Chains A and B, each alone.
Chain A
Amino acid sequence: MADPMKIRAQMKGDVAEVRVLMSHAMETGTRKEADGKLVPAHHIQNMTVALNGKTVIAGQIAGSVSKNPVFGFKVKGAKAGDKVAVSWIDNKGDKRTDEAAVA
């Protein structure tokens, strides 16, 4: 089962700054073990960000993104108390959604 994300959303002026820390192995599928066997690819494929239930970002990422990745973005028009929900699905079908309120 996937580990929880850490989401921090803070108002800076009239813009909400959101930082998401995800726990994921993000295997590229090209790395080899000591015995020469390929480590199978295992990475997040789709991520979406929703503000109060409305999707504001729908994106695709792949194995070039680092392990335990950090994403940062700014949302205009958000206000304190709004709910930011981040979800991802990886190439093995594993998924995770976490939510945080804008502070």
Chain B
Amino acid sequence: MKRLIAGMLGGLLVMGGAAAQTDKKPASKPAAKPAAQAVQAAPAAEVKDAATLEFEKFRAEMEDSNPAELFEMKGEEQWKAKRGPKNVSLAESCDLGKGVGQVAGAYVIHPRYYADANAVMDLERRVVWCMVEKQGFKFDDIAKKPFADSNSTPDITNLVTYVATHSKNMKIAVPLDDPKVRDAFETGKAMAAYRAGPYDFSCNTCHSGDGKRIRMQQLPNISTPEGAIKGVQGWPGYRMTGGVMLTHQWRMTDCFRQQRFPQPKYASDAIANLLTYMIGTANGLEYKGPGIKR
């Protein structure tokens, strides 16, 4: 017993939030391995300063114990449970393009066209569709509060996190040879270039050049596959500030807000088109699963 207590190395480590992890490699090696590799792989236009490297180190540490797993656990429960007015589970009714109830590899093949819904759908939109059509939930109820805040997380976010986890380390494969998906891609591309609003901004104002940033945040160039994957990677993501789990739909909606555009409708064509452009551009690259953000 005594030996056990004496054997505790390092004692308790508290991480999460802004707390830094102290149990690390010796100080003589300031750059952790993943960060060092990232520097070599980065294009010349993207010079990373010390702070960026520190954030990358921090993120790499946190990815090891991502609180997104907590939401994934809840999502799995909700996926398998009989719910809604029709009392059916999504596991026995929802087809995510891999067959009814199949979640493995489903996240990376979205957005895709669904004949039963006659629409191109990103994964979140598809799960919402299933909840409405198969389980009998009301769309308006889901759309009333579609995204998490620090007080509560909607079921849809848990479900998306659960599905996304099962596409970890898989290659992105948006079916762009499907004419309807190609259509959505082109529309999304046009939307990304559309300048409007009080700032006369488009998505491309910030996201079509290399090496741009806002404050400390590197901005991915979504017109290139390498940039687009950075924008896809990490969604759905756990944001440590406030401890909220957020989806890629939320990110799109928030970009609209930052541009001072009107709020897009939840689970709409507009968002699906934009996501088709962005995720489709990253086709062939590896998705690493739900992420963690500061």
Interface, chain A (partner B; CB < 8 A): 3-4, 6, 8, 15, 19, 21, 23, 51, 54, 56-57, 59, 61, 65-77
Contact = CB atoms under 8 A, between A and B. Distances in A.
B7 A68 contact: no
B23 A68 contact: no
A73 B65 contact: no
B4 A68 contact: no
Given A21-B69, A66-B19, A57 B12 contact: yes
12 contacts: A3-B70, A57-B12, A66-B15, A66-B19, A67-B16, A71-B13, A72-B13, A72-B23, A73-B8, A73-B10, A74-B8, A74-B9
Contacts, number: 88
Nearest to B23: A72
A77 B7 contact: yes
B14 A56 contact: no
Which secondary structure dominates where chain A touches chain B? strand
B154 to A, nearest CB: 15
Contacts of B16: 65-70
Contacts of B3: 76-77
Nearest to A58: B5
Given A51-B4, A75-B4, A68 B67 contact: yes
A75 B17 contact: no
Contacts of B64: 19
